[in-house]
Amino acid sequence: MAKQGAGELPKYQRIAAELRAAIESGQYGPGDQLPGENQLKETHQVALMTARQALDVLKNEGIAESRKGKGVFVRAFRPVRRRGVQRLSQEVWGSGRSVWADDAADRDLVVDGIEVGEAPATEPVARVLGLEPGAAVCTRHRRFVLDGKPVLLSVSHLPAELVAGSPVTQEDTGPGGTYARLAELGHKPVRFREEVRSRMPSAAETRQLELSAGTPVMRICRTAFDGDGRAVELNEMTLDAAAYVLEYDIEA
Amino acid sequence: MAKQGAGELPKYQRIAAELRAAIESGQYGPGDQLPGENQLKETHQVALMTARQALDVLKNEGIAESRKGKGVFVRAFRPVRRRGVQRLSQEVWGSGRSVWADDAADRDLVVDGIEVGEAPATEPVARVLGLEPGAAVCTRHRRFVLDGKPVLLSVSHLPAELVAGSPVTQEDTGPGGTYARLAELGHKPVRFREEVRSRMPSAAETRQLELSAGTPVMRICRTAFDGDGRAVELNEMTLDAAAYVLEYDIEA
DNA sequence: TAGTGGTCTAGACCACGTT
DNA sequence: ACGTGGTCTAGACCACTAT
């Protein structure tokens, strides 16, 4: 036996749609447990695999989440607001405050996995920074963990000749961070360009950000320019899309 | 029989990882056909469902795409660059050009599904526009189709008392669009705020944007403010994330 | 121990597209 | 007619969680 009745949706999509509607109507709230495979199998009189397929739909839509041995639950969201303009104003990093402090507010933000190194520029990085391919580049890897959950991976690239010997090549860049140091080196960032993309995560990103199925990532590539219009930093960030809302203020 | 060998990845993940690596190494380029279910079943000596599961992984990652009766293929991307700042400068809409023309460049952009109406404000819309809940709001629905593929859904909300009787309530808003008309009505937009989110699409969005599995959407909520700081428009946009890269320029 | 989700099998029929 | 992916079944064993 197989197939759905003519002109109708497949069974698993019908079951998924029914659950989706129940969630959207508020019948199941954030964090609530949904009917499991076995229950769906009986209430809808389908095979286990079909019930599983229905739940897979909701998981891949990011509205449900399964925990092994426990059940399937409605996902809850509580995104952080990331202000793209204010965070880069000179008042923030010029005052010695971290560029990241603004995001956290009342929440617990930890930075781990810091790795600083020097490596030859890859082709795309060299192009953005205006270097010859293979030129030495200082790279700074970091991971941001919010309330125990990793939310952002960051890799910063800077021309090595620009920052050699400065605190930028240390784990702790000092008050005001990289941008304050660049300013001291005569390359104060005055203009930034952010490119935002979104896609499904790679396997590595899923692991590092502990993402569940159905969660996209946002990719922000930020270039910092000094007063001469030279690109002095390229920062590639990978964000858990469920954890962030990006805000940009624009003057006409 | 069941289970994978101790300490190893499940079979379907191993197969998926192998294909993923082959794609990333360039062995399969954009548009190339991948080995199908039956081929994977034989080369890896697994059940059909297991081979399917492996392909599902790649599809949900957005790097492969299946076409019924044909096969599974590596997805190709060609995103449009959407300049968030330049597009909102007065020079663009003040000159009578469409705010959208800049995106398209050499490509074929069509707007369809235009629907203009008036309805009571929902709670979130009323809050953003500073209206009482239930106050009349003019809504403008549009869909943008690029090279035959729908890429953006837009719903614009404006206080009805502000635009009543103006071309804003018509399908064709005239040269310079809604913002030029708002300016003529004494509510020239001088400041904008865009909020960017990303998530997996709803079933309705998947249908309207003709999205394939593994494609997230980006959600842009833009509020336009006039010189008095009053919110005069809320534009909710839903973008095919595979079709767009958002660019924002920021002055320190 | 019982219940949950996770993986896996070996079949089946259907719809679609090509030959 | 044949190959492709799409849906579906009726079992099975495993791993994790709770009681």
Check whether residue A1 has its CB closer than 7 Å to nucleic acid strand D.
yes
pLDDT at B6 over 50: no
Nearest to A252 among B49, B191, B250 (CB): B191
Q: Which two tokens stand for residue B94?
A: 């003040």
Q: How confident is the model at residue A252 (pLDDT cuts 50, 70, 90)?
A: confident
CA dihedral A157, A159, A161, A165 (to 10 degrees): -20
Name which of B214, B209, B208, B19 is nearest A216 in CA terms. Answer: B214
B 23-62 residues inside an 8 A Cβ radius of A:
49, 60-62
Model confidence over B110-146: pLDDT tens digits? 899 999 999 999 999 999 999 999 999 999 999 999 8
Non-local CB neighbours of A13 within 8 Å, separated by 6+ positions:
A54, A57
d(CA B57, CA B66): 12
pLDDT at B92 over 80: no
Q: Do B157 and B235 meet the contact criterion of CB atoms below 8 Å apart?
A: yes
| DSSP letter assigned to residue A168 | G
pLDDT at position A220: 98
pLDDT at B100 over 60: no
- Length A3 CA → C17 C1' (Å): 19
Q: Residue A5 falls within a domain, yes or no?
A: no
A252:B190 CB<8 A: yes
The residue among B55, B74, B93 that closes a domain is B74
pLDDT at position A6: 42
Same domain, B193 and B236: yes
Instruction: Please report where in the chains the tokens 């309207």 appear, as a residue.
Output: B208
Same domain, A226 and A127: yes
- If you average pLDDT over residues B6-16, what whole number do you get? 78
Domain at A178, CATH number = 3.40.1410.10
CB pairs A-B closer than 8 Å = 128
d(CA A192, CA B195): 18
Residue of A nearest to B88 (CA): A252
The residue among A24, A51, A74 that closes a domain is A74
Nearest to A88 among B196, B202, B250 (CB): B250
Greater pLDDT, A202 or B6: A202
Q: Residue A201 falls within a domain, yes or no?
A: yes
Model confidence over A40-72: pLDDT tens digits? 998 898 999 999 999 999 999 999 999 888 999
Q: How confident is the model at residue B252 (pLDDT cuts 50, 70, 90)?
A: confident
Residue B44, domain extent: 11-74
d(CA B217, CA B243): 9
Q: Residue A170 falls within a domain, yes or no?
A: yes
> Which of A78, A81, A198 is best to mutate for the B interface (most B CBs within 10 A)?
A198
- If you average pLDDT over residues B153-178, what whole number do you get? 94
| DSSP letter assigned to residue A87 | G
Model confidence over A212-224: pLDDT tens digits? 889 999 999 999 9
Same domain, B28 and B65: yes
B218:A196 CB<8 A: yes
Same domain, B29 and B106: no
* Chain A CB contacts of B62 below 8 Å: 199-200
Q: Give the lowest-confidence range in A87-91, A140-144, A193-197.
A: A87-91
B249:A192 CB<8 A: yes
For A146: left if phi > 0, alpha if psi spans -120 to 50, otherwise beta; the answer is beta
Domain at B67, CATH number = 1.10.10.10
Same domain, A67 and A122: no
Q: Give the lowest-confidence range in A116-120, A171-175, B9-13, B221-225.
A: B9-13
pLDDT at A122 over 90: yes
d(CA A55, CA A18): 11
pLDDT at position A195: 96
Same domain, B202 and B128: yes
Same domain, B64 and B102: no
Nearest nucleotide to the CA of A67, by C1', is C5
pLDDT at position B91: 65
Same domain, A124 and A22: no
d(CA B143, CA B234): 16
Q: Residue B252 falls within a domain, yes or no?
A: no
Nearest to A250 among B194, B196, B242 (CB): B194
Nearest nucleotide to the CA of A36, by C1', is C4
Same domain, B39 and B124: no
Same domain, B50 and B124: no
Q: Residue B121 falls within a domain, yes or no?
A: yes
Q: Per residue in A43-80, is it b (16+ CB within 10 Å) or e — as a string?
A: ebebeeebbbbbbbbbbbbbbbbbeeeeebbbbeeebb
Model confidence over A132-189: pLDDT tens digits? 999 999 999 999 998 888 999 999 999 999 999 999 999 999 988 999 999 999 999 9
Model confidence over A70-79: pLDDT tens digits? 999 999 888 8
Q: Residue B6 falls within a domain, yes or no?
A: no
d(CA A95, CA B211): 46
Domain count for chain A, please give it: 2
pLDDT at position A8: 65
* Chain B CB contacts of A201 below 8 Å: 61
Model confidence over B183-241: pLDDT tens digits? 999 999 999 999 999 999 988 899 899 898 899 999 999 999 999 999 999 999 999 99
Q: Residue B5 falls within a domain, yes or no?
A: no
Same domain, B207 and B119: yes
Check whether residue B6 has its CB closer than 7 Å to nucleic acid strand C.
no
Q: Which two tokens stand for residue A190?
A: 């005055």
The residue among B28, B45, B74 that closes a domain is B74
Same domain, A28 and A95: no
Q: Residue B109 falls within a domain, yes or no?
A: yes
